[in-house]
């Protein structure tokens, strides 16, 4: 798999986002039975000001958020793309904001790396057609995220404990 990282905020460099994003996205794809070598994802590592502009432009919500994703095409979890290592399939783009991620991690008492791993997995699932618009879809997506995180040795982010 190739995650193409564009760092606009240098705080992401100290976190090692390149390896973290690659690990998280590959874990999500493998969990779904997909070969990571057949896919590409672009990741924009930015700050709250930049993501607020993107959120306003694309979702009509001009406020910061933790992560945004734009799939290359509309798909559903029932129609996962087949990758090709010789000509990787572009899944789409992700933008992630340092300020919101760091604040959320501190509020939850977890490391920024663990929180960002969860958010990259979450965004990768969105690129693959998963969503949380209704209760059923949210349960499916959250269960999938929790399983992937567990495979990486990370805690369930939805646990009330």
Is pLDDT of 160 > 80? no
Mean pLDDT, residues 128-152: 97
Domain ranges of the chain: 2-151
Binding site members for Zn(2+): 122, 126, 132
Residue 130: CA count within 13 A, CB half-sphere: 18
Q: What is the pLDDT of residue 83?
A: 87
Per-residue pLDDT tens over the stretch 95-104: 999 999 999 9
Q: What is the pLDDT of residue 65?
A: 98
Rounded to whole angstroms, how far apart are CA atoms 6 and 103? 21
Mean residue pLDDT across the chain = 96
Is pLDDT of 108 > 90? yes
Binding site members: 122, 126, 132
Q: Calculate ∠ Cα 146-23-87, nearest 5°.
A: 115
7's tokens? 């760092």
pLDDT band at 161 (very low <50, low <70, confident <90, very high): low
Per-residue pLDDT tens over the stretch 17-63: 999 999 999 999 999 999 999 999 999 999 999 999 999 999 999 99
Is pLDDT of 82 > 90? no
Domain 2-151 in CATH 3.40.50.1580? The answer is: no
Mean pLDDT, residues 55-83: 95
């Amino acid at each position: 798999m190739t995650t193409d990282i564009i760092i606009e905020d240098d705080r992401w460099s100290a976190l090692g986002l390149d390896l973290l994003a690659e690990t998280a996205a590959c874990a999500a794809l493998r969990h779904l039975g997909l070969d990571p070598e057949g896919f590409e994802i672009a990741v924009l590592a930015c700050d709250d000001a930049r993501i607020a502009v993107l959120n306003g432009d694309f979702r009509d919500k001009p406020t910061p958020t933790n992560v945004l994703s734009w799939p290359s095409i509309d798909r559903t979890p029932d129609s996962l793309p087949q990758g090709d290592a010789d000509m990787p399939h572009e899944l789409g783009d992700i933008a992630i904001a340092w300020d919101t991620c760091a604040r959320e991690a501190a509020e939850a008492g977890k490391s920024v790396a663990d929180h960002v791993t969860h958010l990259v997995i979450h965004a990768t699932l969105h690129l693959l057609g998963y969503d949380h618009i209704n209760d059923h879809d949210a349960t499916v997506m959250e269960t999938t995220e929790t399983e992937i995180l567990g495979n990486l040795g990370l805690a369930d982010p939805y646990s009330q404990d």
